[in-house]
């Protein structure tokens, strides 16, 4: 097992390198950061000065070699805009994103699996229809709607929650709730579908012949068999959250990585983009490794 | 009033707080005159014009030399005294190769040299002579001579407030100083928070989570008790490239101007109070020419002009692409769509392309990319500094980076006006405005915009034209 | 007669399908009392499993519908009790052993967990359950029971799974045990042990046993009474001896007449060329050696039977030859070319010549393909029989040959009984007209009359086209009638091999002798005699 | 020949399309969904031809007219937008680009993802490792950066939009497919197919794919909404589809500032996205049952009558 994880880690490291190289060159195809950092009426000398200062005037290949050299010494460069080490900026933001993603995903996973399984068990019934329609509306409604309506309702009209920002646990309720909705809707549907197939399997009959109660039949016998696609989709949704939740961060003023990433991309703050992708990619790779381990834990036939 | 702490909710996070970047509006709004002060200050509430701040007075010694007499007994927030060396260091820093200070651009073609006469007197020589040097001093925030040649994250200034806390992404806290040289402001501390969503900013003032939201949209500004509109010194226009066909023909440019129903935008897509523009600078600027008329909306005339041009062999069917930037100002997309439609209606082969900021920049500044036909750049220009010099060279001189024309007479007027002083300066600018507007028809000038802000009812504060780029806490009182 | 413990009265079950209603059970009535063993014999597809499912409340309603009848357990009608009440009875008072042990074990849990759950589901403490599981698993003859409990279903052989299922059903010492073909995959020695265990339990707890089986020997050995089902109906009922000696219904007569093991033993042809030569084939799973240096030769037109202990590596042998498992070492020469090292391309072209009927027919049929698609797939693969009409005819013909109806072609696998699925698998193997068919317990789920029909078909094909068979079976009667060579396997090794006559009449290896001795006779009187002899014999 | 069991097959057996339609009719939710989707598809096909001009005709002085007011004609029944254009007409016209982008992105992502997933799951360890790590790269490549790169270099257009969105959605299909293949290929019927001599492709497409297809379809239909909204946020940032082209996503993002004052601008297109997603999913739920022989009875007429 340990050996396997080690092997995976090395392979992931290779992907990380590929990713970083791609990002490095592709991002440099998208325009000149000097023009964006400096005011619109900045002179050419100022732009030149900016480029020289940040090494942007050198050939891209040379920049790349320098970057690699720095990274090997764990120096991820300065943010072009913030005059701070890019990695600091990113880690600061990630310290907000990570708990947000984890809390949301934890809630989503529990709620979606329970309701999805219940829907599958009552397939075609009123509970199934109810859960499906509600979750689907959640999954397809524009999230800024939900966010703004939530603010109007809970912060302005009812005054129960603060409009936005961070600080107290109360501040987290709306962002988590809004982020919750889409992955919840998606995963409910995937759980439902996968459970439907699994519930038709003969071992369910065995369990019933054994006199096992419905709840363990659903949540113990069948669910585990239905989990393969479910955890894959959970992984996909978690990856989206680990990449930052732009809308929610924007509306609720949540200082996470999503907004930072978008701003840095739009402003061509290359070092921050690189550092942000490095951090999110590491998180996503770790998650994917965990998911693959989960596959083999869940299904002994996959273990090799 | 017991609670004199306020919270200001801004639309954009700060990535820097360095004083030499204070001319960038999001930074200036927080530190300009609050943390760091300038030698001179432009009066935007009354009509006093240029006022003393850290310089008590100044005089033109001739030959491009200006003498500034500095205010005594001023200390920086780190305790050190303010003197002429600090002024000199400030400028050394602005022009340093090691920091890319924004304020340097205002001195692009002038060479400054300094001579410290005594602790509180400094002579500044500019080459060529800079008649508006004292005005330019409103743009340079003074830092102590210990400030390193790199961006600082804890700005030290002479202002009434110190930056006491900066949680990136969350808030910035300014606290009042006890040893400020001037009158103690009423606000004891200000916390700046950042929310990009206008609706949320407005809501925060409504729920009491914030006291001032300097920029909200017109749509949010629905409560007369708290919401104010103010001219925000931004001017919207369509930049024409008169090197391209078919806009190299003046009749085509005129047709563009007459094709647009400017009035129709006001009170609909743009706020009530928006004014039609005849110059690229707002009316509060020196030399603004009140005699100019906005081009009348006359689609028939526009069609006739096009026909005439076509008759002379101008290919008026060449594509005209309007390039606009998403998020440039509220409703920019709709405005651009409406403009496109109006141009199409009179027979232009117009199309619209909305782009993000980096791409917009490509089209906006020279060298302009090639195109079949031509491009009209929808852009917004901000000049709240009181003098057209900050605009005219860039926008109209044949060497200006965003200029769409190349006209020797315009170049000449700009150069002369820049060097002139007093009434002559105003007259030259006026002449330039009229010439550009009527003879050259250099661009499609559209609107002077208004901004909206929401101010809590417990505050006594009215936003001004400068609110866009600075928000002096000392101007805020409590009811 | 006093009120029976479990009485099924006038039970009728229909299945509604798109192509009409299937009357699976029609007015069936039977009952079983405490301490009694009722054998349900019958045609494959005659509704035995369906009626058992009805008792356990396992029918999917719809598409199934209980049209009439009642199922009385201790006087209560199980068709009327609430779901929850029924659930509490299941497993604890009435337990069931399913016909198809692989599908009915949950693939993702260890068998130990699944067996223990039988007790924990009814509120018994887990440690006690574990002790009992260990005891029972040992009793049904699973080697290394401690470790076995920690393994997953796919790591067991077909017979082992069946035994695990039996152990599971016995956990709570139920009052009624419904055993649906519980010994189809067991060799006769283990079968004897299992039957002994059932009897013992019956003596201990007065358990009523409903035994659904095709094996007349098993009936003779253990049953008290017999009902015979045909086409959904009960056609005959009586004591074992009565029915065996004086069958009244023509079907019963046919059934008893078809009991295998009475024909003449064939002599292997001596001059046929070798078709498959297996040389020192070995395979192990981790540390466990499933197959040790197996060597044998199969000539063209020969039928080679492989018998042996359950779990001795018979299926592994077949699967390794077919490259479904990677062999550790050894060769399998097909017409001189080694299958084990053959390039994938070459292998593909050989595939058509060797077909296999898997031990677990249900799992080997794609649930999303209709019977027609399943049978004709081989033709698609090898681009045979392009004419649709001809195909249709051939499918109908094949179905009829294995005792199914043409209209079954449009149904899907889940709509069939265990024996019917097995026949679909056989029809599929035959469709390609291969040169060798590997049959892994291919007729174990068939009642003896259908079995006889299928065996006759296979034998006919052998004569006509020279098809060879590698025939894995545990039913010595069938082997005796069908095979001309026999291999005996034990613990991964071939312990004995030779012409059928020699192996049956002059067995050398002690295991072979044990095996033959344990064989059951369909005649209840003979069995009773043997039992007596065994009891009086000095141990 | 033994007569096994009797069936009284109904005389008028339904086959093929009529059978499917009958099954559709039995699930009323799915039936309504199918009708809704049909309408949307028709709008997408003919909308721009018939209503293109109406949808583009501005009237600044009659902007943001509220919905349910018939005085300005049927086109304004859902209100007018911020340029005074009829929302209803715009919705209909926008259906085309919307559907092209969403369907294009989802289908290409699903096809490519499933294909690579099948290969990764079915082939040896090394191929699998390679494909999966590549998927990791795509998965952690921020979609926004991809959008900026592609649209900056190639310009915003419907095909480029499809490209961007499709690439970002590939990993989910790839990973799901692979995970399922790993399990399905261990099943006995796959081995039975191997024995019959089925080629890899046949095994993959005839035996494995049908088992995992329902899961893929479920995800794909959910992705429809996801893609429409993703396209909306890209438009909002200035790197997606831009006016004068219209999509529902663009309409949603343009209506965003008016949420408090003219709710109908963002509401109707948002509702269309929800309705489309809902319909697709209800239909895919139906399909999951209809295509599974073991579940199909749920949709077949139950009472063929017993005698
Ligand atoms: N879901 C179903 N749909 C339609 N017909 C079915 C279904 N399940 C079973 N049948 C039919 O019901 C009949 C009885 O099946 P059952 O499984 O009880 O047979 P069986 O007596 O157990 O046979 P075997 O000995 O082969 O296992 C068979 O003819 C079968 O085809
Ligand atoms: N995947 C596996 N992992 C570990 N052990 C296995 C695996 N498959 C089979 N075995 C073991 O290999 C041995 C031989 O199995 P095989 O299926 O060949 O037996 P068999 O002779 O066919 O028995 P039966 O008659 O019961 O079907 C068994 O003891 C079984 O436990
Ligand atoms: Mg059966
Ligand atoms: Mg076996």
Best probe of the A interface among B18, B207, B357, by most A CBs < 10 A, is B207
- CA nearest A216 in C: which residue? C121
Find the C296 Cα to ligand 4 centroid distance in Å: 18
Query: pLDDT at position A103, please?
Result: 92
- Taking an 8 Å cut-off on Cβ atoms, the answer to whether A205 and C105 are in contact is no
Query: pLDDT at position A106, please?
Result: 93
CB contact at 8 A, B230 and B214: no
Spell out the domains of chain D, with CATH numbers in brackets.
Answer: 26-300 (1.10.3720.10)
Indicate the average pLDDT of chain A.
Answer: 85
**Tens digits of per-residue pLDDT, D48-58?**
777 767 777 77
Interface membership of C378 toward D (CB under 8 Å): yes
Q: Check pLDDT > 60 for residue B165.
A: yes
Q: Strand pairing of C225-230 and C303-308?
A: unpaired
Structural domain boundaries in chain C: 277-532
> Which residues, at least 6 apart from A33, have a Cβ–Cβ distance to it below 8 Å?
A50, A54, A56, A80, A267, A268, A269, A270
Q: D interface toward B at CB cutoff 8 Å?
A: 56, 58, 60-61, 63, 82-83, 148, 152, 235-239, 242-244, 254, 257-261
**Tens digits of per-residue pLDDT, A157-195?**
888 888 887 878 888 888 898 889 889 988 998 899 888
Closest CA to A280 of A103, A94, A99: A94
**Tens digits of per-residue pLDDT, D169-182?**
898 899 889 888 88
Q: Check pLDDT > 80 for residue C348.
A: yes
Of B98, B195, B206, the CB nearest to A164: B195
CB contact at 8 A, C167 and C137: yes
Query: pLDDT at position B362, please?
Result: 82
Query: pLDDT at position C191, please?
Result: 83
The residue whose CA has the least distance to atom 23 of ligand 1 is C45
Query: pLDDT at position C67, please?
Result: 82
Q: Check pLDDT > 80 for residue B339.
A: yes
Q: DSSP 3-state assignment of C30?
A: strand
Using 50, 70 and 90 to split pLDDT, how confident is the model at D248?
A: confident
The DSSP code for A222 is I
Interface membership of D292 toward C (CB under 8 Å): yes
Interface membership of A31 toward D (CB under 8 Å): yes
**Tens digits of per-residue pLDDT, D190-223?**
888 888 888 888 888 888 888 888 888 888 888 8
> Which residues, at least 6 apart from C235, have a Cβ–Cβ distance to it below 8 Å?
C228, C229, C249, C251, C252
**Tens digits of per-residue pLDDT, D9-54?**
333 345 567 777 877 787 788 888 889 889 888 888 887 777 767 7
Q: Is the CB of C313 under 6 A from ligand 2?
A: yes
Q: Strand pairing of C468-472 and C436-440?
A: parallel
Indicate the average pLDDT of chain B.
Answer: 86
C-alpha distances in Å from residue D94, one per residue of C27, D53, D245, D251, D272: 63, 12, 8, 9, 11
Rounded distance between C-alpha atoms, residue A271 and residue A261, angstroms = 11
Q: Is the CB of C362 under 6 A from ligand 1?
A: no
Using 50, 70 and 90 to split pLDDT, how confident is the model at D4?
A: very low
**Tens digits of per-residue pLDDT, D47-103?**
777 776 777 777 767 777 777 777 777 777 677 777 777 778 888 888 888 888 889
Helices (H), chain D: 16-26, 28-56, 87-122, 125-140, 143-154, 158-184, 188-196, 200-202, 209-237, 248-255, 264-290
Average pLDDT over residues B327-350: 87
CB contact at 8 A, B414 and B388: no
Q: Strand pairing of C37-42 and C208-212?
A: parallel
The closest-lying atom of ligand 1 relative to the alpha carbon of residue C47 is 18
Of C376 and C445, the one with more pLDDT: C376
Query: pLDDT at position A104, please?
Result: 92
**Tens digits of per-residue pLDDT, B16-39?**
888 888 888 888 888 888 888 888
**Tens digits of per-residue pLDDT, C106-154?**
888 888 888 888 888 888 888 888 888 888 888 888 888 888 888 888 8
Burial class (CB in 10 A: 0-12, 13-18, 19+), B220: buried
Of B23, B105, B365, the CB nearest to A46: B105
Query: pLDDT at position A105, please?
Result: 92
Using 50, 70 and 90 to split pLDDT, how confident is the model at D304?
A: very low
Q: Is the CB of C50 under 6 A from ligand 1?
A: yes
Closest CA to D144 of A248, A246, A82, B327: A246
Chains with 3 or more CB pairs under 8 A to chain C: A, D
Query: pLDDT at position D15, please?
Result: 57
Tell me the β-bridge partners of C234.
C229
The residue whose CA has the least distance to atom 17 of ligand 1 is C417
Closest CA to C360 of D211, D184, D188: D188
Identify residues whose C-beta is under 5 A from ligand 3, the ion.
C 49, 99, 417-418
Q: Which residue from C157, C305, C357 has its CB within 8 A of the most atoms of ligand 2, so it is best to mutate? A: C157
Closest CA to D173 of D225, D145, D129, D138: D138
**Tens digits of per-residue pLDDT, C303-346?**
888 888 888 888 888 888 888 888 888 888 888 888 888 888 88
Q: Which residue from C161, C307, C316, C470 has its CB within 8 A of the most atoms of ligand 2, so it is best to mutate? A: C316
Distance of CA A36 to the CA centre of its chain: 28
The residue whose CA has the least distance to atom 7 of ligand 2 is C155
Q: Is the CB of C37 under 6 A from ligand 1?
A: no
Query: pLDDT at position C537, please?
Result: 61
Contact list, D141 vs chain A (CB under 8 Å): 19, 22-23, 277
From the options 3.30.9.10, 3.20.20.70, 3.40.50.1980, 3.40.50.300, give the CATH code of C277-532.
3.40.50.300
Residues 149-208 of D with CB under 8 A from C: 186-189, 191-199, 202, 206-207
Q: Check pLDDT > 90 for residue D108.
A: yes
Residue B31, number of CB atoms within 10 A of its CB: 26
- Taking an 8 Å cut-off on Cβ atoms, the answer to whether A211 and C90 are in contact is yes
CB contact at 8 A, C184 and C162: yes
Rounded distance between C-alpha atoms, residue C359 and residue C472, angstroms = 9
Percent with pLDDT over 90 in chain C:
0
Q: Check pLDDT > 70 for residue D5.
A: no
Chains with 3 or more CB pairs under 8 A to chain A: B, C, D
Helices (H), C171-312: 188-205, 216-222, 240-245, 250-257
Percent with pLDDT over 70 in chain C:
98
**Tens digits of per-residue pLDDT, B168-206?**
878 899 998 888 888 888 888 999 998 888 888 888 888
Interface membership of B329 toward A (CB under 8 Å): no
Closest CA to C276 of C322, C313, C314: C322
Q: Is the CB of C462 under 6 A from ligand 1?
A: no
Average pLDDT over residues A247-252: 84
Rounded distance between C-alpha atoms, residue C121 and residue C420, angstroms = 33
**Tens digits of per-residue pLDDT, C145-164?**
888 888 888 888 888 888 88
Rounded distance between C-alpha atoms, residue C184 and residue C345, angstroms = 37
Query: pLDDT at position A303, please?
Result: 66
Q: Is the CB of C490 under 6 A from ligand 2?
A: no
Indicate the average pLDDT of chain C.
Answer: 83
From the CA of C286, the nearest ligand is 2
The closest-lying atom of ligand 1 relative to the alpha carbon of residue C42 is 21
Asked which of A61-65, C59-63, D74-78 is least confident by mean pLDDT, the reply is D74-78
Percent with pLDDT over 90 in chain B:
2
Using 50, 70 and 90 to split pLDDT, how confident is the model at D301?
A: low
C-alpha distances in Å from residue C351, one per residue of A108, C274, D192, D193, D244: 49, 18, 11, 10, 60
Peptide bond into B92 cis (omega under 30): no
Using 50, 70 and 90 to split pLDDT, how confident is the model at B464?
A: confident
Which CATH class for the A86-299 domain?
Answer: mainly alpha
Using 50, 70 and 90 to split pLDDT, how confident is the model at C277?
A: confident
- Taking an 8 Å cut-off on Cβ atoms, the answer to whether D6 and C324 are in contact is no
Q: DSSP 3-state assignment of D100?
A: helix
- Taking an 8 Å cut-off on Cβ atoms, the answer to whether C100 and A301 are in contact is no
Using 50, 70 and 90 to split pLDDT, how confident is the model at C508?
A: confident
Structural domain boundaries in chain A: 2-72, 86-299
Interface membership of B387 toward A (CB under 8 Å): no
Tokens standing for residue C506: 């002059």
pTM over 0.80: yes
- Taking an 8 Å cut-off on Cβ atoms, the answer to whether B102 and A84 are in contact is no
């Amino acid at each position: 097992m340990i050996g396997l994880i080690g092997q995976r880690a090395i392979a992931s490291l290779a992907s990380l390198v590929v990713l970083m190289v791609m990002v490095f060159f592709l991002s440099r195809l998208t325009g000149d950061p000097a023009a964006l950092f400096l005011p619109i009426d900045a002179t050419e000398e100022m732009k030149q000065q900016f480029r020289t200062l940040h090494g942007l005037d050198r050939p891209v290949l040379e920049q790349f070699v320098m970057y690699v050299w720095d990274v090997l010494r764990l120096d991820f460069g300065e943010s072009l805009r913030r005059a701070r080490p890019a990695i600091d900026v990113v880690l600061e933001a990630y310290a907000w994103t990570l708990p947000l993603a984890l809390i949301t995903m934890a809630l989503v996973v529990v709620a979606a699996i329970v309701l999805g399984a219940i829907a599958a068990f009552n397939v075609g019934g009123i509970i199934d229809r109810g859960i499906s329609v509600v979750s689907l509306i959640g999954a397809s409604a524009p999230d800024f709607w939900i966010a703004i309506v939530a603010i109007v309702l809970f912060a302005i009209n009812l005054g129960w929650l603060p409009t936005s920002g961070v600080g107290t646990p109360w501040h987290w309720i709306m962002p988590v709730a809004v982020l919750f909705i889409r992955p919840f809707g998606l995963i409910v549907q995937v759980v439902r579908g996968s459970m439907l197939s699994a519930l038709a399997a003969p071992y369910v009959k065995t369990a019933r012949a054994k006199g096992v109660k419905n709840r363990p039949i659903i949540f113990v016998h069948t669910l585990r068999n239905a989990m393969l696609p479910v955890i894959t989709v959970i992984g996909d949704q978690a990856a989206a959250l680990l990449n930052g939740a732009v809308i929610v961060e924007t509306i609720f003023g949540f200082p996470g990585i999503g907004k930072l990433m978008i701003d840095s991309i739009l402003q061509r703050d290359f070092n921050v983009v690189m550092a942000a992708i490095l951090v999110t990619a590491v998180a996503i790779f770790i998650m994917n490794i965990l998911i693959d381990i989960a596959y083999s834990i869940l299904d002994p036939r996959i273990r090799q | 009033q017991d609670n004199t702490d306020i919270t200001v909710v801004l639309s954009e996070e700060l990535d820097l707080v360095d004083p030499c970047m204070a001319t960038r509006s999001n930074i200036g709004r927080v530190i300009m005159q609050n943390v760091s002060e300038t030698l001179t200050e432009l009066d935007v509430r009354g009509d006093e014009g240029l006022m003393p701040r850290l310089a008590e007075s100044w005089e033109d010694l001739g030959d491009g030399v200006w003498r500034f007499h500095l205010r005594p007994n001023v200390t920086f927030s780190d305790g050190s005294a303010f003197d002429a060396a600090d002024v000199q260091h400030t400028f050394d820093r602005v022009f340093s190769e090691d920091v890319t200070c924004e304020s340097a651009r205002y001195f692009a073609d002038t060479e400054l040299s300094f001579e410290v006469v005594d602790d509180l007197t400094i002579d500044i020589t500019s080459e060529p002579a800079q008649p508006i040097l004292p005005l330019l001093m409103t743009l340079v925030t003074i830092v102590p001579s210990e400030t390193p040649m790199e961006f600082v994250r804890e700005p030290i200034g002479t202002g009434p407030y110190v930056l006491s806390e900066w949680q990136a992404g969350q808030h910035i806290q300014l606290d009042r100083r006890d040893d400020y040289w001037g009158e103690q402001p009423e606000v004891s501390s200000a916390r700046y928070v950042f929310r990009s969503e206008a609706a949320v900013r407005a809501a925060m003032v409504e729920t009491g989570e914030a006291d001032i939201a300097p920029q909200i949209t017109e749509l949010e500004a629905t409560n007369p008790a708290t919401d104010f509109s103010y001219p925000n010194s931004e001017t919207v226009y369509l930049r024409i490239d008169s090197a391209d066909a078919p806009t190299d023909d003046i009749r085509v440019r005129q047709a563009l101007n007459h094709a647009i129903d400017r009035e129709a935008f006001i009170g609909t897509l743009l706020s009530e109070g928006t004014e039609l523009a005849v110059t690229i600078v707002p009316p509060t600027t020196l030399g603004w020419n009140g005699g100019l008329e906005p081009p009348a909306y006359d689609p028939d005339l526009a069609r006739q002009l096009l026909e005439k041009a076509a008759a002379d062999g101008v290919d008026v069917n060449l594509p005209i692409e309007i390039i606009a930037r998403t998020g440039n100002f509220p409703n920019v997309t709709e405005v651009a769509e409406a403009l496109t439609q109006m141009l199409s209606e009179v027979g232009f082969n117009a199309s619209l392309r909305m782009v993000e900021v980096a791409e917009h920049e490509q089209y906006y500044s020279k060298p302009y990319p090639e195109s079949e036909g031509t491009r009209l750049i929808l852009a917004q220009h901000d000049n709240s500094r009181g003098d057209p010099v900050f605009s005219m060279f860039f926008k109209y001189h044949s060497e200006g980076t965003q200029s769409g024309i190349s006209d020797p007479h315009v170049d000449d007027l700009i150069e002369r006006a820049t060097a002139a002083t007093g009434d002559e300066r105003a007259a030259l600018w006026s002449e330039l405005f009229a010439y550009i507007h009527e003879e050259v028809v250099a661009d499609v000038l559209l609107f002077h915009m208004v901004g909206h802000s929401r101010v809590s009812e417990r505050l006594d504060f009215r936003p001004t034209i400068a609110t866009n780029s600075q928000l002096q806490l000392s101007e805020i009182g409590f009811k | 007669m006093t009120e029976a413990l479990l009485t099924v009265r006038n039970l009728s079950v229909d299945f509604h399908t798109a192509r009409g209603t299937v009357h699976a059970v029609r007015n069936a009535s039977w009952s079983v009392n405490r301490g009694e063993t009722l054998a349900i014999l019958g045609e494959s597809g005659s509704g035995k499993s369906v009626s058992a499912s009805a008792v356990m409340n396992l029918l999917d309603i719809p598409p199934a519908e209980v049209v009439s009848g009642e199922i009385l357990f201790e006087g209560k009608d199980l068709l009327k009790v609430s779901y929850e009440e029924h659930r509490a009875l299941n497993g604890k008072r009435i337990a069931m052993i399913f016909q198809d042990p692989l599908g009915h074990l949950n693939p993702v849990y260890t068998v130990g967990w699944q067996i223990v759950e039988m007790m924990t589901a009814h509120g018994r403490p887990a440690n006690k359950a574990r002790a009992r599981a260990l005891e029972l698993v040992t009793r049904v003859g699973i080697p290394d029971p401690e470790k076995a409990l920690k393994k997953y279903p796919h790591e067991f052989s077909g017979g082992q799974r069946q035994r695990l299922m039996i152990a599971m059903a016995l956990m709570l010492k139920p009052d009624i045990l419904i055993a649906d073909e519980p010994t189809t995959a067991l060799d006769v020695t283990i079968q004897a042990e299992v039957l002994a265990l059932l009897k013992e339990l019956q003596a201990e707890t007065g358990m009523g046993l409903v035994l659904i089986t095709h094996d007349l020997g098993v009936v003779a050995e253990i049953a008290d009474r017999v009902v015979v089902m045909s086409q959904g109906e009960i056609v005959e009922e009586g004591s074992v001896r009565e029915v065996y000696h004086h069958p009244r219904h023509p079907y019963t007569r046919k059934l008893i007449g078809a009991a295998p093991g009475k024909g003449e033993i064939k002599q292997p042809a001596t001059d046929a060329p070798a078709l498959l030569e297996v040389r020192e084939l070995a395979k192990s799973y981790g540390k466990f050696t499933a197959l040790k240096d197996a060597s044998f030769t199969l000539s063209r037109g020969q039928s080679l039977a492989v018998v042996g202990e359950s779990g001795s590596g018979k299926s592994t042998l077949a699967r390794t030859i077919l490259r479904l498992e990677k062999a550790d070492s050894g060769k399998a020469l097909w017409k001189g070319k080694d299958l084990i090292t053959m390039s994938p391309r070459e292998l593909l072209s050989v595939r058509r010549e060797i077909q296999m009927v898997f031990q677990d027919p249900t799992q080997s049929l794609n649930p999303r393909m209709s019977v027609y698609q399943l049978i004709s797939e081989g033709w698609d693969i090898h681009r045979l029989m392009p004419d649709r009409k001809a195909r249709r005819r051939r499918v109908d013909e094949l179905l009829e040959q294995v005792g199914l109806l043409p209209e079954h072609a449009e149904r899907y696998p889940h709509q069939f009984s265990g024996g019917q699925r097995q026949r679909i698998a056989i029809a599929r193997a035959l469709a390609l007209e291969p040169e060798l068919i590997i049959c892994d317990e291919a007729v174990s789920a068939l009642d003896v009359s259908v079995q006889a029909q299928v065996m006759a078909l296979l034998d006919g094909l052998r004569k006509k086209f020279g098809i060879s068979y590698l025939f894995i079976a545990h039913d010595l009667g069938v082997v005796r009638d069908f095979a001309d060579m026999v291999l005996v396997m034990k613990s991964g090794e071939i312990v004995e091999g030779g012409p059928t006559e020699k192996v049956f009449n002059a067995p050398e290896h002690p295991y072979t002798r044990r095996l033959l001795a344990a064989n059951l006779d369909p005649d209840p009187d003979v069995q009773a005699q043997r039992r007596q002899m065994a009891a009086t014999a000095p141990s | 020949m033994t007569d096994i069991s009797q069936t009284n097959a109904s005389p008028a057996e339904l086959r093929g399309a009529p059978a499917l339609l009958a099954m559709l009719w039995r699930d009323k939710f799915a039936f309504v969904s199918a009708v809704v989707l049909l309408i949307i598809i028709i709008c997408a096909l003919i909308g721009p031809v018939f209503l293109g001009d109406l949808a583009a005709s501005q009237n600044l002085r009659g902007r943001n007219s509220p919905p349910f007011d018939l005085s300005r004609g049927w086109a304004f029944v859902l209100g007018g937008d911020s340029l005074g254009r009829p929302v209803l007409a715009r919705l209909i016209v926008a259906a085309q680009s919307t559907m092209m982008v969403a369907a294009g992105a989802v289908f290409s992502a699903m096809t490519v993802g499933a294909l690579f997933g099948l290969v990764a799951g079915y082939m040896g360890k090394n191929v699998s490792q390679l494909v999966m790590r590549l998927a990791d790269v795509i998965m952690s490549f921020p979609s926004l950066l991809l959008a900026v790169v592609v649209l900056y270099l190639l310009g915003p257009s419907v095909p480029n939009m499809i490209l961007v969105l499709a690439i970002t959605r590939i990993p989910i299909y790839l990973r799901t497919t692979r995970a399922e293949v790993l399990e399905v290929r261990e099943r006995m019927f796959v081995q039975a197919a191997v024995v019959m001599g089925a080629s890899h492709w046949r095994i993959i497409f005839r035996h494995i794919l049908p088992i995992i297809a329902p899961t893929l379809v479920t995800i794909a239909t959910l992705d429809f909404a996801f893609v429409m909204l993703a396209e909306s946020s890209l438009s909002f940032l200035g790197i997606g589809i831009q006016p004068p082209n219209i999509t529902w996503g663009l309409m949603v993002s343009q209506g965003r500032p008016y949420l408090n004052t003219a709710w109908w601008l963002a509401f109707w297109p948002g509702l269309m996205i929800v309705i489309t997603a809902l319909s697709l999913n209800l239909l895919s739920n139906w399909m999951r049952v209809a295509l599974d022989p073991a579940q199909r009875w749920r949709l077949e007429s139950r009472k063929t009558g017993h005698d």
